């Protein structure tokens, strides 16, 4: 695999990451994910179906159950002053 005349190929190793470019890529990915989520409809006049609403409610309930299980076990007991 030799270089053809006129073709320049440099291996560039960046010394600093371009944080704004990385953040922009992450935001673009989040936007794409949010468009696929049934709770965020692309058309504000469009109505969600009962099935879509039920899926969102189930997802919220799962998050609440998971959060409730983790916070109750790791939450410290109140001290004498707090009681």
Question: Is residue 6, in this structure, part of any structural domain at all?
Answer: no
Question: Is residue 81, in this structure, part of any structural domain at all?
Answer: no
Question: Is residue 4, in this structure, part of any structural domain at all?
Answer: no
Question: Is residue 67, in this structure, part of any structural domain at all?
Answer: yes
Task: Give the chain's domain count.
Answer: 1
Question: Is residue 41, in this structure, part of any structural domain at all?
Answer: yes
Name the residue among 71, 50, 69, 29 with its Cα closest to residue 58.
50
The radius of gyration of the chain's CA atoms, rounded to the nearest angstrom, is 25
Question: Is residue 50, in this structure, part of any structural domain at all?
Answer: yes
The per-residue pLDDT for 68 is 78
Give pLDDT tens digits along the chain (83 positions). 555 666 666 777 767 667 788 888 888 877 766 666 665 556 666 777 888 888 889 999 998 888 876 555 555 666 666 65
Residue range of the domain that includes 54:
20-73
């Amino acid at each position: 695999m030799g270089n053809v005349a006129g073709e320049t190929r440099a291996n560039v190793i960046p010394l600093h990451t371009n944080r704004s470019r990385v953040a922009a890529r992450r935001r673009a990915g989040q936007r794409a994910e949010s468009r696929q989520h049934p709770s965020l409809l692309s058309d504000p006049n469009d109505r969600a179906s009962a099935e879509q609403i039920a899926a969102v409610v189930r997802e919220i309930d799962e998050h609440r159950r998971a959060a409730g299980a983790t916070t109750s076990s790791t939450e410290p007991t109140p001290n004498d002053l707090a009681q």
